Structure 1
């Protein structure tokens, strides 16, 4: 017995008597032919005309996925060689450990955010005070016309030469301080140039040098800066102190705090 398509009796081609050419016959049921052949067997094996693309899903395995895989493993195991109980327990313990580590990481992130906020709240008490920073540059303004700092010396030095320079590196004033005590030596500049005139507002640097073992060497200088505000920062940086005319500095880089 052969399969006969009911629609096959209609010829798809028609003859053009005038031109002698054979052209496809226009049929209002041509769209129906593309949708169905009229044969249930052929229709069942036809490929779909439109392919559906599945939506992207989360590739992360969850605990439900793990137990599904474990169930599949148990159902497909050899009944003569079943999975060892110790091995199964080890797999479950490993997954529980990984899941616990993921939750612990989330808690640590939340804890860092809380600690950062708490640190910024504590650092807000420094607003209005001066902090010692590891920089030889300080700011002179009408509100604070003086510049103070600390010179660190490896040993006792009789005379320490101090040079005040502006942002362009030009020399503003030179004076000496006593370093016979050694260690950290306080230094203060009144904000006056070599002619005794007040300098313009801006950033100025304190450069210090002295003789160490008979040779002239540059000495490390730290300056005091005025804290104007505190920024929250991030978990890696912590609270940021905003200094007048200087910019921001990590609270962990502060060397000391001064009342004035």
Structure 2
């Protein structure tokens, strides 16, 4: 009985595909012991009448040591770079859900019923007006901000029209006009946009994504 089982097992084993052995990967990196082996071989073949110069041997040893040190330093820098990228990704993830102040001519009215922004004026204004328009280009609200000093001028809209009625959430167009030296002129505006997601790009750094598009974190004036 045992002999029959043994014969059957041997027959089954003969039908199996032979296991492929994975080739052993060779390490082609020259190590310090490899250098000393080459140096010993070099000494054995040198001309007895013209022995090798000690200074040359020391220079060769120094060069090999420096090359090995630079190689190890590069490896450590790669590890440090990977660690910094991971830390940047972790820090960037905390920006999601916050608001970034970006140059824009649209306001995002949230469910809370308020929207904020900033106006930049290089000169003092005698009268500053912020006009807000809906998607049909109809004037919804006009905010009179009076006289203002030069610089960044903050404004806030409570989300209501001229009659005090709350407006639906969404995007609204804004235009800022100011009387400067007796002439009315348009001024650049920046508004807070919700940060939907972030990307960590090695070449461009951290990229934040909003409804208005993608911008570099370095181009963001403020995070709120």
- Displacement of 1:101 in angstroms is 2.1
Whether the 8 Å contact between 2:132 and 2:174 is mirrored in structure 1 is: yes
Offset from partner CA, 1:119-148 (integer Å, 9 cap, x none): 333344444332323x21556355355432
**Which residue of 2 is the match for residue 227 of structure 1?**
195
Task: Report the number of matched residues.
Answer: 196
**Which residue of 2 is the match for residue 63 of structure 1?**
31
**Which residue of 1 is the match for residue 223 of structure 2?**
257
Whether the 8 Å contact between 2:128 and 2:145 is mirrored in structure 1 is: yes
- Displacement of 1:154 in angstroms is 2.0
Say whether 1:121 aligns with 2:90: yes
SS in 1 for 2:56: helix
- Give TM-score, length-normalised by structure 1: 0.54
SS in 1 for 2:91: helix
Say whether 1:108 aligns with 2:74: no
Offset from partner CA, 1:73-97 (integer Å, 9 cap, x none): 4444443333332232222222322
2:122 paired residue among 145, 148, 154: 154
Whether the 8 Å contact between 1:139 and 1:246 is mirrored in structure 2 is: no
- Displacement of 1:110 in angstroms is 2.0
Offset from partner CA, 1:192-245 (integer Å, 9 cap, x none): 67897846734x5544454666776654432212234455x24444444443x2
Say whether 1:140 aligns with 2:108: yes
**Which residue of 2 is the match for residue 94 of structure 1?**
63
**Which residue of 2 is the match for residue 187 of structure 1?**
155
SS in 2 for 1:158: strand
**Which residue of 2 is the match for residue 52 of structure 1?**
none
**Which residue of 2 is the match for residue 11 of structure 1?**
none
Structure 2 stretches lacking a partner, 5+ long = 1-24
- Give TM-score, length-normalised by structure 2: 0.61
Whether the 8 Å contact between 2:107 and 2:174 is mirrored in structure 1 is: no
SS in 2 for 1:149: strand
SS in 1 for 2:195: strand
Bigger Rg, structure 1 or 2? 1
Whether the 8 Å contact between 2:131 and 2:174 is mirrored in structure 1 is: yes
